[in-house]
Structure 1
């Protein structure tokens, strides 16, 4: 595509081409991807009619070809539908899917309602007739992409970026930022009720990242580097709208005074001066609004510019040492500590009297007048315990009450979804995400109370087996087994208590090696004092959390040193976790579960079945439940796992017909023998063996669904319909 630009400039050329591409993408969407649901429903109806014809005339080659083409088209559109729903639902925790478009569609509707936007469908139908591409032309379109093609495609982008660094001029359209307003609360109406999410253009981000990379290599040489320490007495200052309030002239002065070249300063300031914002309101952008101060959250260079702005304060505070009225905090004088910063969170330290605090206040006031940053007085007051960077700071033992926020977050995430939309596999995936993701940050800082770990485990266990956080029915498999690797019969969940201990041992390693971190230097300066960390008694005056870290050093002594847990100069928590949590023996059926291409929800049911952990009636009776023990499908014999798979006439006929579709000519065998055959087939990577394994897993799952449908709704589908559904799933999963 060649777009001529009468006005000179590589940036304008790229911008014009992007507008043409945008129009082409709109046309492609309208012609090929509109009204997906109706297309899929129509294809399902067509496929059913063709399969009926095929059943009547199984040798008709034309009908066979029509069935293949319709099936392939349906699979393609089902994949497109799931992908679209997944993106719109923004479910980040679900890494592997069951084609659960119902879950994604529900989440998507919730997001649309919450964000008060609407969707518009366009009815466009296109029928193509006439000439088609030759086989040679078609093959040419799908050959591997070469480096030369990529260079040719983005040559204009290269020229646009180089033009900026050559001229120092930024095209305003390139630096226009789309801002989406996401409501923080329901029925949001005021500006403060929305969270702005900015999206910068790719061309600008390339320019910004180049500047960021160059600045990153030198910023450590001019910025105050003392971080990460938690003194017991401090002044907490919260900066009001920190990114939005920083004055541009102040930033330009700071860059110049720190020695950045004039040309580099002009590049950076041009990135700021050319900024404009288009606010997306219900999907419609406003006219560009020019900015006159502040930084953008989504801009790669913003954190570095903010750090350079805060460097002004970092240089003002150490100068207080020469002020006779100022006195250090008693535990900060040896390291000359006056403050600590993390982004816009600021802590300042001094002796707790008015004469010592006043110089701190004067220094901050001077910084505020120069930079435009002000303290948020409502958020800058409090007493111990209080939260800092998401975790509680307290002078006492970390109690269950202090960790209530962590438990509440876990419950909130769990309650967001119910079994109405999630299978066992979906709940398991959410449990993995919630359990490990939410507590990860806390567990690397504190030795967590055992009561907290047990409560989080209880909540997740109840949700997995009963889709609620309140009360669990009898668990089918122990939690300890779920924490085993898949090869050992588990699902590779993390044992939180063990992982917490492994993570905290990283602090012991840092103290022993005297790593160049401020908190390590602080501990050595006030407590270790040139003694050996491994042999020194636990010092008096340590906080509860520090004493807990000290107690855990015995693990290294039992492991004969730390070398086995270090790789490339870094302590590996996973290595320590494996040392503290040895796994069980491998199970014989591991490949059936680990190598399966079947849907996760089906695989989970088979995982239960091969261990005889499904809630069949014989097991329910063993739990002293007063129920009828006959088969849930035909109620002729007692229900057990061996009867349900595949001694029951209904399930036996389903598996017999599936075997015929797979081209296997043999009788249906008892459950244990069928499992052994499926395990043996799962060891092969050939497509035929893969197809067999998927068919076995999907058959067990569908039979279990039919059994539950008969027990709870008194309905069972015909064998033919079940087999058709199984084989359709097999074909889809074999792609």
Structure 2
């Protein structure tokens, strides 16, 4: 309140219970444990339904089940708290009677039944609270109901909307707030009707005919069942109230109706209006939001629509790699969130060390998902080569529907939508990539025409754009021409797609650039000027991870998380679960990219240890068990807490595996251009002093974990160019230099690759078996002058193929040694092909047969 003449302000507190409206039906997973549930659901499902469409019949059947469950929950299952109270009252009465005069046999049985009923009701209550608390884990053992109560209270407090600040005044009435929020989103999702320009002349990848046919294939029961099994059952349901736990449990009952609905959708590309209606939950983006714009809208879809959407999303995911450029690292199999961060970090480090003038523009899109123009989405689908049936399916799923906003758990009236993608729809991430590919194509066109100059690391590919969904970085040389090109490309993309760039929130960072250029560039683009390191996808690009200061943010997050927990409600078993599921997952993002310094590891372990034994109390308690014992698996007497140092090493070791597996990926090409191929890091831990801290730390990890990392890598031969013939495991599980040390000592090139020996393996063996190698006897027959035709090895007999590689006393001795080592007792045959067949006859299985063949080739190659 205004302070008037006083130097103090009065605080006005208002306390009243507002009626926000009815709460929608929600299927409770605890019902699944009741013995009568299947009968109730089956009876309601089989009621006669007269509807023309399978989707409408399904919708009506779910409505019938919903009505039956409401009645059954009220009359049979009952309120959990009431059941506990009634059973407790009866049990207390029996206990008092037992103390006074004893119980009859029937009363003793009744007493045991009441105890069992109370335990069962308490278990139901804990599961119900866990479902409401949105916890993905539930500690077995002692009950955590108080903890879940605290989580629910905290969650409701964070998500509750009691007032809104609009046009300088506070809205407080429930109906007024609901109407205002509904009107806000009605306007927000209204399409702006005007003729948008096209990008017909921009070259884009085209979907192959094989993938096009596969996308539009009929839905099989096996495909649908597999998808249902993979879905998480505890996700918040949509307007129908049913989650996938219900669908999974009653799949045998509902599958025929679901398949009929899918068949109709496949033929007609049409979805009834009721299935396209959805709730929108508002998640705060700030600690104390005051306006509707400070909430993130998340869509809660009905289970029937989600079945269709999830099926289509699974199919679409399989073709994204073909049509989405590697500059985009989101939602494409084989790519992840760290790829773009790694490329950006390497580019920034390289530019700083070679002192090249460059800039990075971090682009901020305003409400990216909500602003997508449906016409541009359909245009892009056709331009990328999707079939007409698939395009019609996408139109049916995306272009239409009605939303209802959940305000403090109560839905508003419905409003039609005219643009945007639903956050929470399984299809939305992939459809957004289709839209974002328009920006990538525009940038690639600008680069190819010489309008924009990116940054090239060594002899690697030129980097001008990095994307993770809508998180975008533009990287280029610090020139005015590049600034003009950026502004033109971004403005063009805004006009064609509907995605508005928020230049006020965008940020420009310069490397080796003077302040005058940065001020000019920021004024021209109307954006902020930033500095290194800058945050991108949750990590700081250009940071110094070997310094403790770089990890201080993470330490503070861990400490703040501890303070927020209601530790007094959690048992020690619950604390172990919290350490593994939260305290170890919070730094997961950092640990997957940076190597944690020893000092920081000690600090994190200190936080974990204190929480395990003390909670978050300031007073110190004795740690009764050593931390290394705590980190052991439960089978070995530990508590199964992850060892964060080895956790970090294993996560970083995955980079080596990914680099060896995908040497042609964009990030791997950048590393190869700067340091060489990833396999070099495993064999030589000598790192160039100008390498980035990330690469130096990865080298340390390889050095530290080389025994288990390299020893468990098995190479599959492609062109053989990156696999060492003598030193890598490419023939079964053996290393040839260790298996054949004497042959290895005779090798002329001990560092040769399999690819370098390819001529001999592919062509040399063929010539050898045809007796067509240029040995001295063959040369003499063709009139080519030779000094003599004696064997090069023994200098006693004529040199022909059979003698040189088999019957020469030196060759013969080597073959007998090899056969003895293999455990084969046999005389040498007359020909090399007979020897090969003979060795194959002693092999057990195809795998050993391939090993024996490789040994035969290796011996010949060594000779």
TM-score normalised over the length of structure 2 = 0.59
- Counterparts of 1:231-310 in structure 2, within 5 Å, are 231-232=347-348, 234-310=360-436
Change (3 A) 1:25 1:332: farther
> Which residue, 156, 172, 175 being the options, matches 2:276?
175
Change (3 A) 1:152 1:26: closer
Distance between the aligned counterparts of 1:547 and 1:48, measured in 2?
Answer: 69
User: What does residue 538 of structure 1 align with?
Assistant: 687
User: What does residue 23 of structure 1 align with?
Assistant: 67
User: What does residue 465 of structure 1 align with?
Assistant: 613
User: What does residue 622 of structure 2 align with?
Assistant: 474
The CA deviation at 1:88 is 1.8
- Counterparts of 1:303-382 in structure 2, within 5 Å, are 303-331=429-457, 334-381=460-507, 382=530
User: What does residue 392 of structure 1 align with?
Assistant: 540
- Counterparts of 1:559-638 in structure 2, within 5 Å, are 559=708, 562-564=710-712
User: What does residue 550 of structure 1 align with?
Assistant: 699
Question: Are the aligned partners of 1:278 and 1:287 in contact in 2 as well (CA < 8 Å)?
Answer: yes
Whether 2:297 is the aligned partner of 1:196: answer yes
Question: Are the aligned partners of 2:533 and 2:541 in contact in 1 as well (CA < 8 Å)?
Answer: yes
Change (3 A) 1:390 1:75: same
Distance between the aligned counterparts of 2:53 and 2:326, measured in 1?
Answer: 42
SS of the equivalent of 1:154 reads helix
Whether 2:109 is the aligned partner of 1:65: answer yes
Q: Note the alpha carbon deviations across 1:655-706, whole angstroms, 9 max, x for none.
A: xxxxxxxxxxxxxxxxxxxxxxxxxxxxxxxxxxxxxxxxxxxxxxxxxxxx
User: What does residue 256 of structure 2 align with?
Assistant: 155
Question: Which stretch shows the higher mean deviation, 461-470 or 204-213?
Answer: 461-470
- Counterparts of 1:401-440 in structure 2, within 5 Å, are 401-440=549-588
SS of the equivalent of 1:236 reads strand
Q: Note the alpha carbon deviations across 1:369-400, whole angstroms, 9 max, x for none.
A: 10011222233212211111111112544432
Whether 2:100 is the aligned partner of 1:48: answer no
User: What does residue 3 of structure 2 align with?
Assistant: none
Distance between the aligned counterparts of 2:551 and 2:273, measured in 1?
Answer: 48
Change (3 A) 1:85 1:321: closer
The CA deviation at 1:224 is 0.7
Q: Note the alpha carbon deviations across 1:50-103, whole angstroms, 9 max, x for none.
A: 244456676832222222322232222222222222222233454334123222
User: What does residue 714 of structure 1 align with?
Assistant: none
Question: Are the aligned partners of 1:339 and 1:348 in contact in 2 as well (CA < 8 Å)?
Answer: yes
User: What does residue 309 of structure 2 align with?
Assistant: 208
The CA deviation at 1:158 is 2.1
SS of the equivalent of 1:298 reads coil
Question: Are the aligned partners of 2:369 and 2:420 in contact in 1 as well (CA < 8 Å)?
Answer: yes
Change (3 A) 1:148 1:531: closer
Distance between the aligned counterparts of 1:18 and 1:39, measured in 2?
Answer: 28
User: What does residue 179 of structure 2 align with?
Assistant: none
Question: Are the aligned partners of 2:459 and 2:673 in contact in 1 as well (CA < 8 Å)?
Answer: no
Change (3 A) 1:37 1:150: closer
Question: Which stretch shows the higher mean deviation, 148-157 or 384-393?
Answer: 148-157
Question: Which stretch shows the higher mean deviation, 163-172 or 101-110?
Answer: 101-110
SS of the equivalent of 1:256 reads helix
The CA deviation at 1:416 is 1.8
Question: Are the aligned partners of 1:460 and 1:469 in contact in 2 as well (CA < 8 Å)?
Answer: no
User: What does residue 767 of structure 2 align with?
Assistant: none
Q: Note the alpha carbon deviations across 1:252-289, whole angstroms, 9 max, x for none.
A: 11111112111211111111122210111232222221
Total equivalences in the alignment: 541
Change (3 A) 1:161 1:405: same
Distance between the aligned counterparts of 1:356 and 1:432, measured in 2?
Answer: 47
The CA deviation at 1:33 is 4.4
User: What does residue 491 of structure 1 align with?
Assistant: 639
Give unpaired runs (5+ residues) of structure 1. 119-144, 570-735
Whether 2:133 is the aligned partner of 1:89: answer yes
Question: Are the aligned partners of 2:133 and 2:155 in contact in 1 as well (CA < 8 Å)?
Answer: yes
RMSD of Structure 2 on Structure 1 (CA): 3.0
- Counterparts of 1:60-139 in structure 2, within 5 Å, are 60-116=104-160
User: What does residue 696 of structure 1 align with?
Assistant: none
User: What does residue 672 of structure 2 align with?
Assistant: 524
The CA deviation at 1:473 is 2.9
Question: Are the aligned partners of 1:528 and 1:536 in contact in 2 as well (CA < 8 Å)?
Answer: no
Greater Rg over alpha carbons, structure: 2
Question: Are the aligned partners of 1:453 and 1:496 in contact in 2 as well (CA < 8 Å)?
Answer: yes
Distance between the aligned counterparts of 1:486 and 1:15, measured in 2?
Answer: 47
Q: Note the alpha carbon deviations across 1:437-484, whole angstroms, 9 max, x for none.
A: 111121111111223222222222222222226563332222222112
- Counterparts of 1:635-714 in structure 2, within 5 Å, are none
SS of the equivalent of 2:548 reads coil
SS of the equivalent of 1:277 reads strand
Change (3 A) 1:510 1:208: closer
Give unpaired runs (5+ residues) of structure 2. 1-43, 163-245, 330-338, 349-358, 508-529, 718-863
Question: Are the aligned partners of 2:456 and 2:462 in contact in 1 as well (CA < 8 Å)?
Answer: no
> Which residue, 267, 279, 299 being the options, matches 1:166?
267
SS of the equivalent of 1:347 reads strand
